[in-house]
A and B are shown apart, each in its own frame.
Chain A
Amino acid sequence: MVMNRDDIARLNEDLLRPLFRTSGRFYWAALILALIVIVALAAWGYQLWAGFGVAGLNRPVYWAFYITNFVFWIGISHAGTLISAILRLANARWRRPVTRCAEVITVFALMIGASFPVIHLGRPWLAFWLFPYPSERRIWPNFRSPLVWDFFAITTYLTGSTTFLLLPIIPDWALVRDKAKGWRRKLYSVLALGWRGTPRQWSRLETAMHIMAVAIIPVAVSVHTIVSWDFAMAPVPMWHSTVFGPYFVAGAIFSGIAALILAMAILRKVLHLEDYLTPLHFDNLGKLLLMMSLFWLYFIVAERLTVWYGNETSEMAVYWPTQRGPFAPLYWTMIGCNFLVPFIILSIKQLRTVAGTVVASSTIVVGMWIERFLIIVPPLERKYLPFAWGTYHPRPVEIIITAGTFAAMALLYLLFVKFVPIISIWELKAGVRQESVVPIPASLLRAPDLIESPSPSGLTRGPAGFSREVS
């Protein structure tokens, strides 16, 4: 395929359209989502004002919806950065249109997820005590506490994945800057950080991307391992498990890919990106999802089978209610959502279409939320001494705040798409160039052609600077 001037114009037009043209639908969607978020914030305000007891928690179920949301969203955050980094390192060519909409999921899901440890605190106004800052009390946080590990893991991951997201946006923002007028131009001038596309800049960007891609993978793995250790470190029946680290990471990637597919499908539909996010992408991601579904099944079997076989009284008290007790409906829904439905859809080639993967992903997102809930709540309900057992029922505050997180995710994504080209334009162009079977016309190698903007001096080489990629 050869990219000619028309192609480039169309590509720019397609991918920059959302930044320059805003339909009424956008405002309606943003308004509705913002309202839901405001209601959720109000619910949190109510919880702060009226007392934590307006949530449905009790003794012994001290953690429930909020921590479920925490784990769920941190899990979703694994979609992006991790997948993007792995695909970058593996140089999977089809990744180019996918990486950014994946990476942005990471950043927003992390922000949402990280808010829950604060929302769930009894005294959230003292959350800063988790920071290791020099205080007049000369007290550090307790470094033995998995919650402090969480704090470090999440802040590291958030910093890393934000950097990982922002680095490759810079050239695109420069493109927008060059195409824009008025306030947009001013805004994007700032955001583009003086990007001129010099070989030096390209080379530095390339190096930085490479370092980040390598570095972010262990961080991502460690984050969800540490999240799993919030549970595994406590001597609670069916929490205290060695499998939790990999189990959580696998589950996180699993739910993350599902979230990514959903996001892609929506973008494809709403922004008319059918040419960019092709069935091939869904097919590839669907295969990945199928693999993760099988992984997930392997982990839950490994966890459940060993518990069942071990037949330890305190664990069986938790085990049976999930298999055939009060939690059984949720449990078997989860199995259906996370394995049966995805397995059937994704293992049949004819069903692994855009629609098919979307269905499978939807059930997986639901199923993984249930999975987090089932990991957290049943063990707390039936922890050792039966006299102290209890039952948990969520109350409106928790449900509203949970709903609010989904709205917040959608709203943030919506706004992001408004300000950033959701598909990395320069990477796409570079990919096209790379994939072409015929020599690229010299004209295409000239930046002014590529960027179609008043050519700032020095913009002589485009993405071809990624010489390693070309080779």
Chain B
Amino acid sequence: MDHKWSMVVDLDRCTGCEACVVACRAENNVPTAGEDEAARGRVIHWIRVERYWEGEFPNPRVRFRPVLCQQCDAAPCEPVCPTYASYHTPEGLNAQIYNRCIGTRYCGNACPYTVRYFNFFNPVWDKPLHLQLNPDVSIRQVGIMEKCTFCVQRIKAAEIQAKAEKRDLIEGEFTTACAQACPPKALVFGDLNDPQSEVSRLNRSNRATKLLEEVGTRPSVTYLERGTWRGEKT
């Protein structure tokens, strides 16, 4: 059976705690930029928790929205890449083939979600911090783009394991690093082609929306809008 990997972000559950952010760094060898580079706007977070203020004191409101690569079906980043480094896999993932990337950064401009990150320098890990690096994920050299992969290394590992055991993948047998860490279970990852999966169930929620749907990207990430108490306007 073909898979259609998808994520659901329940904004009503999300507390903005950023456990996903650190989980992603640890899993995917995301480099640390340091203060100066951070000040220049070059920090890399494959998943980030966006924060929006509304209103003024004494009635300020905050909305959090974790934003990661939306793994669009009609991804604007893909056609613009001259070298096919930004590539659509048969399973519907937007893969970034680091070796093919020559660093035009066109994909980063074309992406409406600004979730593609450029390596302005070769990444450095002060020894022995490099011992933490995940051997399943390549590190990215200067001059290339990187972004959320939906933890493709975990998907592949699970698929290989399932194949070795001559069985189908089982719902919940693996998940992405961010969804794994998320304490309030705001992030749910799974196969949209499986009508029984949790993501399929949540996608049918009447709170389900897509981010920047009007751009026509057909994202694979679904957001469940925040609820309100007894339907009151907050």
**Residue positions of A touching B, CB distance < 8 A:** 50-53, 56-63, 117, 120-124, 126-127, 129-130, 139, 141-142, 144-148, 151, 230, 233-236, 380, 383-388, 390-391
Which chain B residues lie closer than 8 Å to A63 at the CB level? Answer: 105, 109
Kindly state the separation between the CA atoms of A51 and B41 in the bound complex, as whole angstroms.
16
17 residue pairs from A and B, CB less than 8 Å apart: A51-B121, A58-B41, A60-B108, A120-B105, A122-B101, A122-B142, A123-B101, A123-B103, A129-B82, A142-B81, A142-B84, A144-B80, A146-B106, A383-B114, A384-B112, A384-B114, A388-B113
Which chain B residues lie closer than 8 Å to A126 at the CB level? Answer: 102
Does A236 lie within 8 Å of B52, measured CB to CB?
no
Interface check B172, CB cutoff 8 A: no
Which chain A residues lie closer than 8 Å to B81 at the CB level? Answer: 142, 145
Partner of A59, one of B103, B117, B216: B117
Interface residues of B in 212-232 (CB under 8 A from A): 212, 215-217
Given contacts A387-B51, A388-B50, contact A52 B109 (CB under 8 A): no
Kindly state the separation between the CA atoms of A148 and B65 in the bound complex, as whole angstroms.
36
Given contacts A51-B142, A63-B105, A63-B109, contact A385 B67 (CB under 8 A): yes
CB-based nearest A residue for B212: A384
Does B40 lie within 8 Å of A127, measured CB to CB?
no
Interface check B122, CB cutoff 8 A: yes
Interface residues of B in 117-152 (CB under 8 A from A): 117-122, 141-145
Does B82 lie within 8 Å of A141, measured CB to CB?
yes
- Known pairs A62-B105, A147-B80, A147-B104; list 13 more (Cβ under 8 Å): A51-B142, A52-B120, A53-B42, A122-B101, A123-B102, A124-B102, A130-B102, A139-B84, A139-B100, A148-B82, A234-B109, A383-B109, A388-B113
Which chain A residues lie closer than 8 Å to B37 at the CB level? Answer: 53
Kindly state the separation between the CA atoms of A108 and B142 in the bound complex, as whole angstroms.
31
Kindly state the separation between the CA atoms of A129 and B109 in the bound complex, as whole angstroms.
20
Interface check B205, CB cutoff 8 A: no
Which chain B residues lie closer than 8 Å to A59 at the CB level? Answer: 41-42, 108, 114, 117-118
Which chain A residues lie closer than 8 Å to B169 at the CB level? Answer: none
Kindly state the separation between the CA atoms of A331 and B80 in the bound complex, as whole angstroms.
29
Could you mark each residue 60-98 of chain B with 1 if its beta carbon is under 8 Å from any beta carbon of chain A, else 0? 000001010000000010011111100000000000000
Kindly state the separation between the CA atoms of A127 and B83 in the bound complex, as whole angstroms.
10
Looking at chain B, what size class is its interface with the partner chain? Answer: 35 or more
Q: How far is the CB of A68 from chain B (nearest CB, A)?
A: 14
**Residue positions of B touching A, CB distance < 8 A:** 37, 40-42, 48, 50-52, 65, 67, 76, 79-84, 100-106, 108-110, 112-114, 117-122, 141-145, 212, 215-217
Does A145 lie within 8 Å of B80, measured CB to CB?
yes
Which chain A residues lie closer than 8 Å to B100 at the CB level? Answer: 129, 139
Does A60 lie within 8 Å of B114, measured CB to CB?
yes
CB-based nearest A residue for B119: A122
Does A130 lie within 8 Å of B82, measured CB to CB?
yes
Which chain B residues lie closer than 8 Å to A147 at the CB level? Answer: 80, 82, 104, 106
Which chain B residues lie closer than 8 Å to A386 at the CB level? Answer: 52
Which chain A residues lie closer than 8 Å to B114 at the CB level? Answer: 59-60, 383-385, 388
Does B105 lie within 8 Å of A122, measured CB to CB?
yes
Q: How far is the CB of A163 from chain B (nearest CB, A)?
A: 26
Does A234 lie within 8 Å of B41, measured CB to CB?
no
Partner of B143, one of A61, A121, A380: A121
CB-based nearest B residue for A50: B121
Does B118 lie within 8 Å of A385, measured CB to CB?
no
CB-based nearest A residue for B105: A62
CB-based nearest B residue for A237: B112
Does B83 lie within 8 Å of A51, measured CB to CB?
no
Which chain B residues lie closer than 8 Å to A145 at the CB level? Answer: 79-82, 106
Q: How far is the CB of B133 from chain A (nearest CB, A)?
A: 20
Kindly state the separation between the CA atoms of A37 and B53 in the bound complex, as whole angstroms.
49
Does A130 lie within 8 Å of B112, measured CB to CB?
no
Q: How far is the CB of A127 from chain B (nearest CB, A)?
A: 7
Kindly state the separation between the CA atoms of A62 and B103 in the bound complex, as whole angstroms.
10
Kindly state the separation between the CA atoms of A151 and B83 in the bound complex, as whole angstroms.
12
Q: How far is the CB of A317 from chain B (nearest CB, A)?
A: 12
CB-based nearest A residue for B215: A235
CB-based nearest B residue for A128: B102
Most buried by A among B109, B122, B144, B216: B109
Kindly state the separation between the CA atoms of A23 and B179 in the bound complex, as whole angstroms.
74
Kindly state the separation between the CA atoms of A63 and B123 in the bound complex, as whole angstroms.
21
Which chain A residues lie closer than 8 Å to B141 at the CB level? Answer: 123
Partner of A53, one of B48, B104, B120: B120
Q: How far is the CB of A282 from chain B (nearest CB, A)?
A: 40
Given contacts A129-B102, A234-B76, contact A53 B121 (CB under 8 A): yes
Which chain B residues lie closer than 8 Å to A51 at the CB level? Answer: 120-122, 142-143
CB-based nearest B residue for A240: B215
Does A52 lie within 8 Å of B79, measured CB to CB?
no
Given contacts A59-B42, A121-B103, A126-B102, contact A385 B82 (CB under 8 A): no
Which chain B residues lie closer than 8 Å to A142 at the CB level? Answer: 79, 81-84
Does B110 lie within 8 Å of A236, measured CB to CB?
yes
Which chain B residues lie closer than 8 Å to A148 at the CB level? Answer: 82
Does A236 lie within 8 Å of B109, measured CB to CB?
yes
Q: How far is the CB of B104 from chain A (nearest CB, A)?
A: 6
